Structure formats: structure tokens, C-alpha cells
Structure 1
């Protein structure tokens, strides 16, 4: 009887967390549609902007590139002769934050209960990270291109210029920059309605 109760408890916990998972937006190329579908995301991004000074279009463009807005996203599994031997890194969640960097964020921000699969925590982490990028490497919080290079290669890697040996990363950073520009143009058209709660 105890084993049955234990199994039911585990199933209930799994079902609860699965039910809490937010589906990726149906129109990820349109920031207004994203925030119309997920109103709590807009509030979370605005809160992060107020706290860290990073504009919503930059945060959302980088998150889209990193996880496609999937709450439990992970790097692909690596294989050797069809045998899986682990992932490229321990990055996880909306922001694709690595464990060590996430731990630094929790310690410095005081957000010790933060979860990488929680959207609000993820955008707060991204704001914290990009704010430090601005302080450490002098990159504007509005500069999606160089913010993404720092986000991908780290502050030290960016200073050493590791990105300059990665043509693919420079191309991806331009994609992020272009998406941020589109998001900015879209957001300019709908932000007042979103802020008033008139959108949708």
C-alpha cells in the first residue's frame, strides 16, 4: 500500500509540473503576438527591463535564438557510433543558462529559488547577465549583436575575441540583431496597448 501511495504521489508531482509548462508561442516572429498570447511574459520582461535596463526586444530576440521559447530546452545529445555520450553542455531552459553561471546569478541577485524553466526567472537572469556584459565589456544593452556574442562566448571569451574565429557565430549574431530590430519595430506599435491591458 505504501508503494502504491508513493507511486501516486510521484505521478501527481509529474502531472503538476507538466501541466504548469507553458507552450511556446504560436507566432514567435511577432513580439506583439507573443505578448498577446502570454501576457505574463510581457509583465516579466518589463520587470526585468526596469531592474536591469535591458530592452524587451533584445531579451526576447536572444531567448528565441537560444531556446525557441521552450521551457526545458537542452543542447542536442552527442553520439559516438550511434551511442549517446552526453550533451555539449549543461545549458538548460528558456535562457540556456549553464549551471555555474546560474548559480552565480542566484548568489548575486538573491534569487536563490530561481528555476531555469521559469520564464520570469529566465528573463531576470538574462537581464542580470546583459547588465554585467555592459559593465564588464562596455557593450550597450541595446546592442543585440555584441550582447549575443558575450552571451554565447562569455565575458572573457568576448574580450579575447574568440568569436572572431567562429564564422557561424558571427552569422547567428547577425540573425539575432535582425530579429531584435524587427521585434523593436513591432513592439513600438503595440507597447502602449500592452501596457494599458487593451491588447487582446
Structure 2
């Protein structure tokens, strides 16, 4: 009986943490609603040497902090659901192939794309690879996002130059990262 209650309670907690924050544009509110996310983000930041605010800005713009986010499904003739344009899934919108690379690199096949801690660690891991391979600064949210979106090969070949909308979007990610930094500094000062 106790075992069943414990399992039910664990599942209930998991379901609650999958609910997107009410005020997702304010990182202090996000961490206030989901305190375990702060610790997971800090851990990923320390492990991979990428600022929390860059990681959170990328996740915010990729999924809006929705655990099971997927690309929109197009409709054929307006009535037949068609194939999604990508295998991207979860908080980080990680594609199947890249997620598989991450699982291999971290030697942990039990990670899930719809688990916040695993997804934030994935984003940090990928940004760290971008820093090493592409010589992007750890706090350059715009370029880290371009590499995240286009992949390392796409970034090297500057495929984003043919996508003005993507450059504008990467600038939004950078702006969000800066806003999150100001917010985080303010709420840390307030809580002492």
C-alpha cells in the first residue's frame, strides 16, 4: 500500500513540474514556481561553463518551458494531419540524432527530453561544444543560439545568413538572456 502511495505521489509531483510557469518571461518567477529548476540550471551551468541566463533564454525561446513541446504538425488539404518537419521534442527541442549524441557523450542513456534537468543539461552541453568547436564566447547568447538552431556545420557555413528571420530571433534570445541576467541579479539581491 505504502509503495503504491509513494509511486502515486512521485507521479503527481512529476506532472506538476511539467506544467509551464505562469510568468515565463521573468526568470525569478520561473525559479520561484519551480525551485528545483534553479538548482538544475545552476548545476548545468557549473558543469558546462555556460551562464544560467543563456541556458534559460534558449529554453524559453525553444519551448516556452513546455515539457512535451513539438514542432507544429502541418495539415494536408486542411484535414489530414501530416508529418512534423523535425524530430525536435521537449524543453530543449532536441532532435533525435543530437539527443542520441548527448546520451552517448554523457554516458547516461536514462535521460529524457521532457525532464527539465536533463534538457537544461543538454542545452549547456551543446553550448559548451559550440564554444569549443566554433570559438563562441560563453555569454554570447546570439551566436550560441545560431549554432544551436543551425547545428555546428550550419553555423560554420553561415546558413543563418540566408535566414534574416533567424538572425532577428537570435537577437531576441540575446535580449532575453540580458533581461534574465538583470532579473536574476535583482531577485538574488532581494533574497540575500
TM-score under structure 2 normalisation?
0.90
Show the counterpart of 1:69. 65
Displacement of 1:44 in angstroms is 0.1
Aligned-residue RMSD, C-alpha: 1.9
CA distance in 1 between partners of 2:98 and 2:169 (Å): 22
Alignment partner of 1:47 out of 30, 35, 43: 43
Alignment partner of 1:122 out of 119, 123, 129: 119
CA distance in 1 between partners of 2:17 and 2:182 (Å): 29
- Structure 2: runs of 5+ lacking an equivalent: 1-6
Displacement of 1:28 in angstroms is 1.0
CA distance in 2 between partners of 1:105 and 1:24 (Å): 24
Displacement of 1:175 in angstroms is 0.7
TM-score under structure 1 normalisation?
0.86
CA distance in 2 between partners of 1:87 and 1:41 (Å): 29
CA distance in 2 between partners of 1:153 and 1:175 (Å): 16
- Which of the pair has more CA radius of gyration? 1
Instruction: Identify if the C-alpha distance between structure 1 residues 125 and 167 changes in structure 2 by more than 3 Å, giving closer, same or farther.
Output: same
Show the counterpart of 2:164. 167
Alignment partner of 1:19 out of 8, 15, 20: 15
Is 1:105 equivalent to 2:85 in the alignment?
no
Alignment partner of 1:182 out of 149, 168, 179: 179
Q: How many residue pairs end up in the alignment? A: 183
